[in-house]
A and B are shown apart, each in its own frame.
Chain A
Amino acid sequence: MLRDITLGQYYQTDSIIHRLDPRVKISGTLLFLVSLFIVDNFIGYLIAALFLVMAIKLSRVPLKFIFKGMKAIYLLLLITMIFNLLLTPGTPIFTIWKIKITIEGIKTAVMMGVRLVFLITGSSIMTLTTTPNQLTDGLEKLLNPMKKLHVPVHEIAMMMSIALRFIPILLEETDKIMKAQMARGADFESGSLINRAKSLIPLLVPLFISAFRRANDLAMAMEARCYRGGEGRTKMKPLVYRKRDAIAYIVIAGYLVLCIVFGKILF
C-alpha cells in the first residue's frame, strides 16, 4: 500500500556509482542540472543524453525504477509542454481555429520536455544510488565552509538525516495502523471529502502519539550517549576521496567542457 511510494528511494545493489563518494554525486548532479540550462541545441542534448545513459548503465539500477519517479511529474510535464507549444510566438506552421502552432513553439515544448525528463532522471540516479545517510554526510562536508558564517551546518545535517531515517519507519507504522483500523471496519477510501478527512482521525492520533514517543526515545538515547552537537565530533566512517572519485570528477568536468563547446559555442 503506502510503501509503494517512491520518495527519494534508495535502490540497493553494488555498482561503481553506488560506491562513489556522495560529494561527487551531489556536485555531479548539480553540475548536470546546470549543464541542462547551458546547452540550447540538439548536439548539446545528445551529449547530455549520452552522459545520462552512461550513468544509468553504470549504476545498474533497472530502467523501470528510474522511470517510476517519472510518474509523479508526468502531469507537470504535460502541462509545461502544452503551454509552451501554444503560447510561444513565432512563425506559424498551421492554425486550428484560434490556436497557432509555431515552429518555435514546437522547439521550446520539446526542449522543455527533454529538460524536465533529464532533470528528474539525473536527480533520481543520485537518490537511487546514495543512502539518505550518505547524502546528508556529503552535504555536511560540502557545506562545511559555511560554518565560518555561523550557519549550523552539523545541526541541519543531523536533523535532515533523522527526518529521512524516520520516513520509512513512519510509513511502515502508518501501514500497520491503517490495517489495524481497517480490521475494525474503518474505510479510508470512499465517502465524501469531509467523511474522508474525518476517517483520518483514527489513523493520525496513533501515528502522532507514536511519533512523539519515538522522538522522545531517540532524544534520550542520544543524550545517554553524550551527544552534544557537532563541536569536536569525529566520524566512524569519514568521507575520503579515492581514485575513482577523482576519475569521476574528471569525467564530469570533461562532460561540462563538451557541453559548453558543442552545446553553446560551436553551433
Chain B
Amino acid sequence: MAIILDHINYIYDADTSMAHAALKDVSLQIPDGQFIGLIGHTGSGKSTLIQHMNGLVSPTSGAVYFDGKDINDPDFNKKDLRAKVGLVFQYPEHQLFEIDCFTDVCFGPKNLGLSKKEIELRAYEALKQVGLPDEYFYQSPFDLSGGQKRRVAIAGVIAMKPDVLILDEPTAGLDPKGRDEILGLIKNLHDTMGITVILVSHSMEDVADYVDRIIVMNKGEVAFDGEPKAVFSHYEELEAIGLAAPQVTYVMQELRKAGFPVDTEATTIMEAADEIMRIM
C-alpha cells in the first residue's frame, strides 16, 4: 500500500496575481509500516503535501500513486482511497459536528456503507483505542477540552481502519502534558495497529523520540529526508531554515567540541544519558 509522490508541483491560485507555488518538485516514497515525522516551518507546504496523499488536492503537475495506481485517474475511486489513507486535520473543530462523541465517530464508518452493528463496533473500538474516558462517550464533543477533542477527532478517522494514518499538527495548542499524551497515543496506535503513520509537526523535539524517519520541508521543497540521526547531523543547516535539532543534539555536539569522545548521534535523552555514562 505504498504511497509514491512523483515530481509533485502545486500552485495555489494559479492564473491569478496571487499565484504562488506551495510545492516544488517533491518526490517521496512512503513504504508500509513506517513512522514518519514531517517537519517544517509554518507555510513550508506540509499541509498541502499531505492533502495530496488522499486526493483532496490534485497536483498542478506530477503524479501520486497509491498501491501502484495513479490516484488522479478519472476512474480511480477516491472514496476508497480516503478510507485507506486517513487524514486528521489540524483543528478538531473543523470536523466535529454530531450531538455526541460516539455518533460523531460513527460518521466515517457510516460513509463506508457498513452495517449498523459494524459501525457501532468500530466507533466503540476507536474511542477505546484513543483512550477517551467512557463518561465522555455520550457527551457533546463541543464541551470537551482541547486534548479530548483531538482524541475524538483521531478516533473519527481510525474508525475507518486506514492503512496509513496522517495527522496534521496534532499537538498544536496543547499543553506539554496533553502533547505527550497525544504523541504517546499515536506511537501506541502505530505499534498496535501496524499501520503507517505520518506525523506533521513544526517541532523536531516533538517527534525525535518516536519516529523512524524525518522529512524536512522548506519553502515547498524537501530539504532533508532520512533517519533522525542523519537529519539531526545537519543541525546547522536546520537552524538556517528556522528549525532546531533536539536539545540533546546540541549538548552532544558541544561535549564533542569540548574534547569528550561522545558519539554525537544520540537523539533521545535516554540515549544521550547512556552515551555520557559510557565515556565516564
Contact = CB atoms under 8 A, between A and B. Distances in A.
B97 A201 contact: yes
Interface residues of A, number: 24
B86 interface: yes
Contacts of A180: 89, 94-95
Interface string A42-75: 0000000000000000000000110000000000
B93 A206 contact: yes
B23 to A, nearest CB: 16
A185 B82 contact: yes
Nearest to B94: A180
B234 interface: no
Interface centre among B16, B54, B87, B142, by most A CB within 10 Å?
B16
A201 B95 CA distance: 11
A13 interface: yes
Most chain A beta carbons < 10 A, residue from B17, B97, B108, B157 = B97
Contacts of B93: 206, 209-210
B40 interface: no
Contacts of A206: 93-97
B17 A183 contact: no
B97 A202 contact: yes
B79 A185 contact: yes
B25 to A, nearest CB: 24
Contacts of A183: 54, 56, 82, 86-89, 95, 157
Contact of A13 (B17, B56, B87, B156): B17
B46 to A, nearest CB: 15
B95 A184 contact: yes
A125 to B, nearest CB: 15
- Counting contact residues on chain B (CB < 8 A from A), the size range is 20 to 34
- Chain A, interface SS category: helix
B160 interface: yes
A184 B96 contact: no
Given A12-B18, A202-B107, A179 B51 contact: yes
Contacts of A13: 17
B112 interface: yes
B83 interface: yes
B5 to A, nearest CB: 18
Contacts of B108: 184-185
Contact of A184 (B15, B17, B18, B111): B111
A182 B82 contact: yes
Interface string A4-38: 00000001110000000000000000000000000
Given A183-B86, A185-B112, A187-B79, 13 more contacts: A176-B91, A177-B95, A180-B89, A183-B82, A183-B88, A184-B156, A185-B108, A185-B111, A185-B160, A186-B111, A201-B97, A202-B97, A209-B142
13 contacts: A11-B17, A12-B18, A13-B17, A180-B89, A181-B107, A183-B82, A183-B88, A183-B89, A184-B111, A185-B107, A187-B79, A202-B95, A209-B142
4 tightest A-B CB contacts, nearest first? A185-B111, A205-B97, A184-B108, A180-B95
